[in-house]
Amino acid sequence: SRIQILKRFYLSMKERNTTLDLAKGILIILVVLGHAIQYSGNGNWEDSQLFFDDIVFRAIYSFHMPLFMMISGYLFYSSNKKDFKPLMISKLRAIGIPLLVFTLLMNVVWYIPLLINGKVLEIFSQYLGTLVFKMNMWFLLSLLLNMVAVAVITRVFKRIRAQYIGMCILFMISFFIPDGLILAVHKFMFPFFCIGYVLNQNQIPLFTYSQRTICLVILTVLSLGAIWWFDKETSIYTTGFCILKDFKGQLQIDFKRMIIALIVSYTFMQYVSRLSRYNTFIAHQTIRLGGMTLFIYGMNMVFNLYTRFLVDRLSLHYEPSYLRAIFVTILFLFVCHYLYQILNQNRIARAALLGKFY
């Protein structure tokens, strides 16, 4: 019943780390804002240099997904105490089903003509290709792959030190695996997931709060320098991960992007820890968004694809605008917030789009 759902929701909120939910809430806002900046211009979707000239875009993309993955790894430690089979079933239901549904929603317009013509096999082929080969919903797929990898490693190796060696070996091997099948982003995410997992395993907070102002000032300066250092060549989306073609150069790029992500992520968490002490309406709503990140991410990817499609079809031309990007971000999050509440009341929608089966 609705009352039981609300009771479970508020109970889970009490048990959750609200600082991490606040961080996730701010991060998902940055995800939507980053995409809004990218799609607020006149259709130059492929001109990545245009985006990397934008300091706000660079700041967001320097750390937001790696930190999301670290938080996911941190939270996964508790789940990994389950037996392997029920663990995988629960994660496939919670993440895999929304992944499949959102991927379908992103392509349904293109599948309708094929369905009318009875080309069912072609629909299946295109759908599978989109799921595996394209960047649509890549983060959820990467999350599942990292969960499986860590779950297997921690069961093959019983001793904790051996588990860490196994993670390091897999990470080192990943440098030599070609970047096909969008493996570059998955390989890039793996060390961050492991960092979060290992921190929780050793009962170390994801961040160490420092009350000394000088520490925050130093971290802020370092982060600003790291963001300035972050450029088009540093992005995992443009330069890949495999070092076979350019051993020294690519290895430097790989570690450069990791160092930048870690510096900015740690500084970001320092600010989040300070914000978490203020019990304001905005903080409360952001924490609520932090519990909806999977749904917001999926809806945002669907929204971006169809927005791009309409802009191209209508040949719209307009100058990039922060005001437009901020307005779209606020409006989109507002709609997602209320749509989430509606969908949460329906068992099928809750399972398909929210990954919840209670």
pLDDT band, residue 314 (cuts 50/70/90)? confident
Token match 């051996």: residue?
A: 162
- Give me the chain's average pLDDT, please: 89
Return the pLDDT at 51.
75
23 neighbors 291 (Cβ within 8 angstroms): no
Return the pLDDT at 23.
95
**∠ Cα 134 137 142 (to 5°):** 90
- Is the pLDDT assigned to residue 296 strictly greater than 80? yes
Return the pLDDT at 205.
85
Q: How far apart are CA 181 and CA 135, in angstroms?
A: 9
Give the tokens for residue 113.
């003509």
Q: What is the DSSP letter of 42?
A: S
- Is the pLDDT assigned to residue 261 strictly greater than 60? yes
pLDDT tens sequence across 68-125 = 999 999 999 999 999 999 999 999 999 999 999 999 999 888 888 888 888 889 988 9
High-pLDDT (> 90) share of the chain, %: 64
pLDDT tens sequence across 1-49 = 444 544 444 444 444 568 899 999 999 999 999 998 887 655 555 555 6
